[in-house]
Amino acid sequence: MEYLEEFNLTIDDINDIKSNFTEDDYSEFVLYEDRIKEILNYLINKGIYNIKNLIMYKPNLFYEDIDFIKSKLDNLNPNSINKINLDINELDNYGI
């Protein structure tokens, strides 16, 4: 999971994430690196920056196909993005 360093996460951040993961979450992030990176790049390009919390507390998001995520988030306005950055649970309002 060291590839997460590409997204400005530190080794300590990655260790925190790992300690919060289930075995399935860990496997998902190890086996599907390309998909995880694609999702992270999309979220960052949308303006979502609380990546550590997003990974720690919404790992199920990364089980999804990028097209599904785009269908839910493509039309978000800046106010909605700000709400997500303040509280990742706001994603629940968008079906994620």
Instruction: Sketch the domain layout of the chain as residue ranges.
Output: 2-94
Q: What is the 3-state secondary structure (H, E, C) of the chain?
A: CHHHHHHCCCHHHHHHHHHHCCHHHHHHHHHCHHHHHHHHHHHHHHCCCCHHHHHHHCHHHHHCCHHHHHHHHCCCCHHHHHHHHHCHHHHHHHCC
pLDDT value of residue 96: 83
pTM: 0.92
Where residue 19 falls among pLDDT bands split at 50, 70, 90? very high
Q: pLDDT tens digits, residue range 23-63?
A: 999 999 999 999 999 999 999 999 999 999 999 999 999 99
